[in-house]
Structures are given as structure tokens and as C-alpha cells.
A and B are shown apart, each in its own frame.
Chain A
Amino acid sequence: MSRSRVALVLGSLFLALAVAFGVVPACSRHDGGADDGTPVDTEIMAFLSEARALHHEANMKEESGDLAGAVGAMDRLVGARRPHPERKGTSAPPEVEEVLADAYARLAELRLKRGELDLAAAAVKSGLEHVAEATYFRGHLVEVQGLVEEARAAQLADAGNAAEAAKAREHAIQLLEEVVKIQDQVIQRSLGKDGG
């Protein structure tokens, strides 16, 4: 056998050994890579189920004209026991945070319908604490906040307080512009993910 053939055979053997004992273990390590996210478990599903039930209960009450009952359903949701309470802030399950933000947005809308502007604004403020990043959820909350300020401006104008009404109107416009920016960021990010 020539030297070149010997070198070829030895090279092939070395490559086979490298694949068997190098790459494969590396792949297994990759498969078992660290991921700190909480698995979708019974606690999360129980919370989501409870949220779903309360939203549908609020639907029926709202359709029957019982806005107070609908507000009560949403109040129960935002005050419900949360899954994985040990995880707070950014480590909390994102689904739970987003469902809470959406519940606060609906609560604010219901309060707005009832003319309870301060309570509506408070609900928006609470909801924003659950969604810090630019998402549809945050955009929706800010949108509701703008509607609340718009209603406040109208209420102030009706009360003859033109100066405060103008401030409230200006604030509403700023909030609605912020909504546009947030939604634009969301769309841009979505397009970037699709392109990448």
C-alpha cells in the first residue's frame, strides 16, 4: 500500500473517531442546553382557564347591560391567585403577565364606559406594569389610556374647564401617538423575524 493510501486511511479513521466521540456528545449537550423558562404546567393552565371563564362571564354580563358585574369579573381575574408567585418581574410566566395586562385593559374599558375615569386610568397603570416591552398588549393598554384621556378632556370641557380639557386632549394625543409608535415597533420586529 502506498504512503498516500496509508495517509488517506489513517485520516478517515481519525475523522470517524472525531465524529463518534466529539461531535455527537456536543450535539447531546446542545439538546440538553440550559433553559430557565417555566414549562407550561398545571398552574399556568389553571390560571388561563380561570381567566377564560371570567372573561366569558364578563361577556354575558356586559351583553345584558350589567357593567358592574362585568367589572366584578375582571376585578376577580386581576386579583386571582397567580401561578408561580415566586417568579416575579421578568421571570414571571409571560402568558400570565400578558393575560393580566389584557384583563386590566378590559377593566379600564369597562370603567370608562361607566364614566369612572380615574379608576380606568388606575387600571391602565396597573396593566402597564405587566408588559414593559413593546407588544400588542402594551399598545392596547396605551390605546385605552388615550381613550380615557380623551374622555377626560370631553368631561372637563363639558364642565367648562377649557384649560384642563386642552391639557387632557394634548395628553390623549400624545398617548395615541405612542400607540402608533408601539405598533410600528411590533410590526417592524415581526417583519425582521420573518426576514431573518
Chain B
Amino acid sequence: MSDRDDDIDPDAPASAEEIAASKRLRDALDTAAPAGAPGGDDPEIGLALALKAAWDPNALSADESHAMLDATPSAEEQELAAALRDSLATGTSTPATTPAHATVQLAHALRSAFAPAALDPAEHDAIIQVALANMPADKELAPEAEKQASNVIAMRGRETRARVVRVAFGFVAGGLALAASIFFVVTSAPGPGSEAPLAKARTTQPLFSEPFKPGETSARIDRIASARAADFRDNQFAKWGVR
């Protein structure tokens, strides 16, 4: 093979056969052969036409459009359309036993998601029954469960009342907490006749951690004066009301 390929000259002039194939491809693309008959038996022409249609599709001709519109729907399509129309009109859905019914259920699901309708009482009861049926069988609890199921709607009223009661007590408790806070602020704030706590005169013993040594007397008075100077400043600020 390599020997043969090496014999081909890439700069050699086209043969008569190659020129003829090139003309057929150009003619086919120029005439824009309709879809469905791409290129006849020549796979290269078919591929070229498919690529052109994908890149730059032509509009359908009037004949092609009429042919598609006048096509008669199949019996299955007619059944599906009727079932979908009736189901959407009545608002009922049937179990998905067939592909057609599955399509109807899908349409119902989409409509319910977009604009959900109020739950029908009968359907609600049916849901409750299904749920109860899935519960473990207990003869003693069964009547109570049925009673609860029948009172589901009635309990909504009770829940509403309970919620109102909780909200009311929440307001009462909040009000009391607010009152307590105000009372605390009022009673703890310094009044005109009261004084903020001031640093009192007291022993300086805590300023020293070990027995005194000779010659350190002035250091002790330095420490005492510094400590009490800080107290004095605090007291002054407290009297001025800035602490």
C-alpha cells in the first residue's frame, strides 16, 4: 500500500473521472435536491446535501406542507387526543394503565402544578382511606383512626383556635417582658437624688504582695497615690455623669 501511495503525485492534474464526480456534486448542490431523496445512489452527494440542509435549511414547499397537514391521524392518535380533551374538560384523571393514559396524567400534573384546583372532599376522603389502609392493622386503634380521619377538616378549626390562643398568650408574655424591661430601666437609672456607686476609701493592703522592706517607703506611697488617683478620677467622672 505504501508503495502505491508513494506513487501518487499530489500535484498531478485531475483525471476525467474525478472531474465528472465533481460536476455531479456541484449540480446536486445547486439544484437543492429535496429532503428524502438525497443524492440518489451516491453516498457522497447524500452527505453533502444533509450537511447543507443542517447548516442552511430551506423552507418547506407548499406541496410538502399540504401533504403533512392532510395526513390522516392514526386511530391511536385520535384516541389519545380524545382522552386528553375529555380528561382536561372534566378534571378527572385515570390510572396510567396505557401510554395514552400516562400522557393524560402528565397533562394533569402540569396543569395542577401551574394552577392547582381545590381538593375535592371525596378525593380527600379517598386519600385518607388509602393512607389508613397502609397503616398497620390494629383493631383497637382502627375506629379511633377512622374517627380522626373524619374529623380532619373539623380539627382545622380547633387548630386555628389553638393558634389564636398561642398568639394571644405570646402577645401577653411579650407585653409583660416589655413592661419588666421598662421597669428595670426606670428603677436602675440614677435619679436626681441618687448617686452612682463611688470608689470608697479602703485599705491599701491589697496593693502589696509581700512584707515591706527597708528603704521602699516612697515607692509604697507612689503606688498608693497612683491607685487612689485612678479611683478619684472614676469618682469624678461618676459625679459628672459620664461613667
B202-225 interface code vs A (CB 8 A; 1 in, 0 out): 111100101110100110111011
B193-205 interface code vs A (CB 8 A; 1 in, 0 out): 0100111111111
Residues of A40-68 whose CB lies within 8 A of B: 40-42, 44-45, 48-49, 51-52, 55-56, 58-59
* A40 B231 Cβ-Cβ under 8 A: yes
Interchain CB contact (< 8 A) of B224 among A13, A42, A98: A98
Q: Which residues of A contact B240 (CB under 8 A)?
A: none
Q: Is B153 an interface residue (CB 8 A)?
A: no
- Chain B: interface residue total (CB-CB under 8 A): 40
Pick from B3-11, B68-76, B140-148, B181-189 the stretch touching chain A: B181-189
* A25 B187 Cβ-Cβ under 8 A: yes
Interchain CB contact (< 8 A) of A39 among B177, B183, B198: B198
Cross-chain pairs A/B with CB under 8 angstroms, 13 sampled: A28-B188, A35-B200, A38-B200, A38-B201, A39-B201, A40-B200, A45-B225, A48-B228, A48-B229, A49-B225, A98-B205, A105-B217, A135-B205
- Taking the closest CB of chain B, its distance from the CB of A127, in whole angstroms, is 12
Whether A94 contacts B204 in the complex (CB less than 8 A), given A1-B165, A24-B184, A39-B235, comes out as yes
* B201 A44 Cβ-Cβ under 8 A: yes
* B172 A45 Cβ-Cβ under 8 A: no
Residues of A16-44 whose CB lies within 8 A of B: 16-17, 19-21, 24-25, 27-28, 31-32, 35, 37-42, 44
Whether A95 contacts B183 in the complex (CB less than 8 A), given A31-B188, A48-B225, A102-B220, comes out as no
* A40 B187 Cβ-Cβ under 8 A: no
Q: Is A146 an interface residue (CB 8 A)?
A: no
**Complex alpha-carbon distance, A175 and B183, angstroms:** 60
Q: Which residues of A contact B205 (CB under 8 A)?
A: 98, 135-137, 186
**Complex alpha-carbon distance, A136 and B211, angstroms:** 6
- Taking the closest CB of chain B, its distance from the CB of A89, in whole angstroms, is 14
Q: Which residue of A lies closest to B184 (CB)?
A: A24
**Complex alpha-carbon distance, A124 and B176, angstroms:** 64
Q: Which residues of B contact A13 (CB under 8 A)?
A: 172-173, 176
Size class of the A contact interface (CB-based, 8 Å): 35 or more
**Complex alpha-carbon distance, A25 and B165, angstroms:** 31
Q: Which residue of A lies closest to B238 (CB)?
A: A39
Residues of B162-181 whose CB lies within 8 A of A: 162, 165, 169, 172-173, 176-177, 179-180
- Taking the closest CB of chain B, its distance from the CB of A164, in whole angstroms, is 26
* A28 B187 Cβ-Cβ under 8 A: yes
**Complex alpha-carbon distance, A13 and B175, angstroms:** 11
Interchain CB contact (< 8 A) of A16 among B173, B203, B220: B173
Q: Which residues of B contact A25 (CB under 8 A)?
A: 187
**Complex alpha-carbon distance, A135 and B208, angstroms:** 10
- Taking the closest CB of chain B, its distance from the CB of A190, in whole angstroms, is 8
- Taking the closest CB of chain A, its distance from the CB of B68, in whole angstroms, is 71
- Taking the closest CB of chain B, its distance from the CB of A109, in whole angstroms, is 7
* B203 A94 Cβ-Cβ under 8 A: yes
Whether A140 contacts B187 in the complex (CB less than 8 A), given A32-B194, A37-B201, comes out as no
Interchain CB contact (< 8 A) of A37 among B184, B202, B232: B202
Q: Which residues of A contact B218 (CB under 8 A)?
A: 52, 55-56, 58-59
